[in-house]
Chain A
Amino acid sequence: MKGRGVPIAIVLLLVVAAVATALADRSSTRWRVPEGRSEVVFWHFWGGKDRPVVEAIAERFNASQDKFFVRPIAMPGNNLDLKFFLSVAGEDPPDVVNQDDPIVADWAQRGAITPLDELATADEIEQLSGWLFPAAREVGSYQGRLYALCNGLDIRALYYNARVLEEHGLSPPRTLAELDAAALAIAPPAPSGPHERFGYLPDPRRIWSWGIVFGGRFYDPETERVTADDERIVAALDWMASYSRTYGADQVARFRKGDQALPGASFPLFEGRYAMIMDGQWRVAEIAAVQAVARARGDEPPRYGVVPLPPPSKGVANAGWVNGNFFVVPRGAKNPRGAWEFMKYWSGAMGNEASAARACSAGGWIPASQSVVDHPVFQEHLRRLPLFATFVELAASPRQVPTPAVPGAQYLQDEVIRAADDAIYKLVPAREALSAATQRAQERIEAAREAR
């Protein structure tokens, strides 16, 4: 018995080695740099069904090129920041990174990324600032200088289940009062037992949207003060917490937490657990998929619609919080020229609208510029998915505001969400929660500003 074990082990090892070699070989031929071209190492966080879309864009770019060759590397989204930082600190960064967290100011402040005016000509920079949507420009700027090139915006609006609203004789809400009335009509507060369905429930993360819809701003660049305790933001959070007071904080918590992260068919709007829910444009394609499945089964497809966030009486229409995907070039990148070419190709800048329109249609992203929106390829996409149009219109609005571009912005963003958590789940008074968050964030921002 003893003697037989050794050959078996050797055979097993050989098999494992053969499989590993075969796999490694397959991936290396796909992204092997052709003779005479320089490699552009590209880090991104897209996985799952998005990853092939991203790789197809890289392949199209590579086919269009005779100088550069992009090799995309998928990184888990949670730790991309960390890996990026370690790579810059260790002086071996990639050539270009795509991100969507509010880190431009932090990274720029610490000299971890290259300002775009060092990569592009003065002409190109001038052209860019008029070409980008205001929100896309703001997402990539720090202290008036462009550090990141936005290639897609994420916009949020209110989705609704048309059938449920009709059953209750309601139309899609245009004001906050209508939203409240609809939510109460669909799910009257009942002392007996938990609800199976809610009309609407606010998610703590959405304080960033509602604060802006209520007319507030989280930071004042003039005075360099955090203003998350602004009266209008307090009013917004107090309104959000009113749902916890109506239904009970624990009920709201068990229904709400983690809901929005649920992908595809498990999205609670599709499961009928909400009549209205705030989310981003990526659900449009999922709605189409759900409807297609129903049609294929011979059922009547469910009907969903989308409206801009309904403002309160003194609030702001077509407003909200916006973030975006953007490219940055790390300091010490070996191939910044190639990185810049790839960035232009994907985002659509400098006459690349056709490639950007194709990328945005395939990935379900909102272009960073009106001229990409106007491209026939993207217009065709809009015809196919009409719900997308609401988001594209909102993207052009200057009332779509990103997280302030200050060092420590990530801390500010999280701290405000934690305050909303406290107000909604623990019923801490909105003013108290936001004042504490404002103070802490201000301290951190001042400390971060000292870093050089």
Chain B
Amino acid sequence: MIHRRQLRSTATAASFLAPWLVGLLLLVVYPFVASLLWSFTSYDMLSPPRPVGGVNYTRLAEELWTGQRFGLAVWNTLYFAALSVPLSITLGILLAVMLSWNVRGRAVYRTLFFLPSVVPAVASSILWLWLLNPQSGLVNYLLSLIGLPGPGWFNSTAEAAWVPGWFSGRGGFGSKDALVLMSLWGVGNFMIIYLAAIADIPQSLYEAAELDGAGRLRRFWHITLPMLSPVIFFNLVMGLIHAVQAFTQVYIVSEGSGAPAGSTLVLSLYIFLAAFKYLEMGYASAVAWTLLVITMVVTLMLFRSSRRWVYYQGARR
């Protein structure tokens, strides 16, 4: 008897789960496995895939070695991620700390800073294209008022954070720096998580520190930051995955080409072009898998390092 009832409840559960399971199998598991298989083929969607062994991967290795196409895309992606993730984490924490202070109109400020992250990516990208237009944009106009030369932004291949470039006359802010700036505008998503975490820090810790004579900075450094570290870690991992997959804004600002001179050709755009513009499904699959491996390796490294700097209140030390 019990047997049958159990069976029935399992069946009921399965039938409720079925739509989701079917979706998972068809839309996630199947493409996942298929793309791995396709990465060892030459495939253009119309003719059946032809096995070519590891050719796609050797092509990737070659391009990585020469720094062309795929190599350029890897560089652009890493450059963008390496700047946008730490900057948005820092900015997010600073904003959250300031917005946790008891000032008048706090709710208004919180809304204002969060607002940009609900603006659709396409709309905000076009807005930034106008703001950062080197000829007629507002940003360069404001810079000119204080006598500063406006950078070329989306029109320039310069890389501000690439120090050797400063000495070869190719310094200044270029297209990728503009993308980083754009990503900082959407920092509200991070900020809101920090705000919640800050509200969760026990006041007693601050009071005890104050009694011991700790100033604002010390309290921030020795209490706020360690208590936020699990959230920082979460944002670091999510932000990194997000940055490595950046597509919409890049597609919009470069009109889908990675212009100028391939300086905004990031990996996901590169995959898109290879697959859907040049019909190289096999090669695009290989790039996608390489992207997955890169993301996994970096994430694992972050998890490894987290043991040293992330503090969990509930965990046994």
Contacts and interface: CB of A to CB of B under 8 A. Distances in A.
Interface of A: 78-79, 81-82, 85-86, 88-89, 106, 110-112, 250, 253-258, 261, 273, 408, 410-411, 414, 418, 421-422, 425-426, 436, 440, 444, 447-448, 450-452
B261 A451 contact: no
A331 to B, nearest CB: 9
B42 A451 contact: yes
A81 B157 contact: no
A258 B255 contact: yes
* CB-CB nearest 10 A-B residue pairs: A254-B134, A421-B261, A254-B152, A257-B155, A110-B46, A254-B155, A425-B261, A82-B276, A253-B155, A89-B45
A110 B44 contact: yes
B230 interface: no
B156 A254 contact: yes
B136 to A, nearest CB: 9
A143 B299 CA distance: 51
B64 interface: no
Interface centre among B50, B154, B155 (most CB of A within 10 A): B155
Interface string B218-258: 00000000000000000000000000000000000001110
Best-buried of A81, A88, A426, A444 by chain B (most CB within 10 Å) = A426
B15 interface: no
Contacts of B257: 414
Contacts of A258: 155, 255
A412 to B, nearest CB: 10
Nearest to A255: B135
Contacts of A78: 256
B279 A85 contact: yes
B259 interface: yes
Residue among A86, A106, A254 with the highest chain B CB neighbour number at 10 A: A254
A436 B259 contact: no
B138 to A, nearest CB: 15
Nearest to B140: A254
Interface string B139-159: 000000000000011111110
B271 to A, nearest CB: 13
Contacts of A452: 47
B68 interface: yes
B54 interface: no
A112 B277 CA distance: 15
A261 B276 contact: no
A421 B260 contact: yes
B110 interface: no
Given A250-B156, A254-B134, A436-B68, A85 B42 contact: no
Nearest to B262: A418
B279 A421 contact: no
B216 to A, nearest CB: 43
B172 interface: yes
Interface of B: 42, 44-47, 50, 68-69, 134-135, 152-158, 172, 255-257, 259-262, 276-280
29 contacts: A79-B276, A81-B277, A85-B46, A85-B279, A86-B45, A88-B46, A110-B46, A112-B46, A250-B158, A253-B156, A253-B157, A254-B152, A254-B153, A255-B155, A256-B155, A273-B135, A410-B278, A414-B277, A422-B261, A425-B157, A425-B260, A444-B278, A444-B280, A448-B44, A450-B42, A451-B42, A451-B44, A451-B47, A452-B47
Given A86-B45, A89-B45, A414-B257, 5 more contacts: A110-B46, A253-B152, A258-B155, A418-B261, A422-B261
Contacts of B153: 254
Contact of A106 (B158, B172, B276, B279): B279
Contact of B47 (A110, A273, A422): A110
A410 B134 CA distance: 30
Given A410-B278, A426-B157, A451-B47, A421 B42 contact: no
Give the interface centre of B154, B158, B261, B277 by most chain A CB atoms within 10 Å: B261
Contacts of A411: 278
Contacts of B152: 250, 253-254
The interface centre, meaning the residue of B153, B256, B278 with most chain A CB atoms within 10 A of its CB, is B278
Contacts of B259: 257, 421
Q: By CB atoms of chain B within 10 A, which of A250, A258, A418, A447 has the most?
A: A250
Contacts of B155: 253-258
B107 to A, nearest CB: 22
A426 B261 contact: yes
Contacts of B172: 250
A78 B172 CA distance: 32
Contacts of B156: 250, 253-254
A257 B276 contact: no
A278 B284 CA distance: 35
A450 B280 CA distance: 12
B260 A257 contact: yes
A410 B157 contact: no
Contacts of B68: 436, 440
A440 B156 CA distance: 25
Given A421-B262, A440-B69, A89 B46 contact: yes
Contacts of B42: 447, 450-451
Contacts of B69: 440
Nearest to A423: B261
Contacts of A254: 134-135, 152-153, 155-156
Contacts of A79: 276
B198 to A, nearest CB: 33
A82 B261 CA distance: 24
Contacts of B134: 254
B277 A410 contact: yes
B44 A253 contact: no
B79 to A, nearest CB: 16
Contacts of A410: 277-278
A78 B157 CA distance: 24
A393 B68 CA distance: 41
B29 to A, nearest CB: 21
Contacts of A85: 45-46, 276, 279
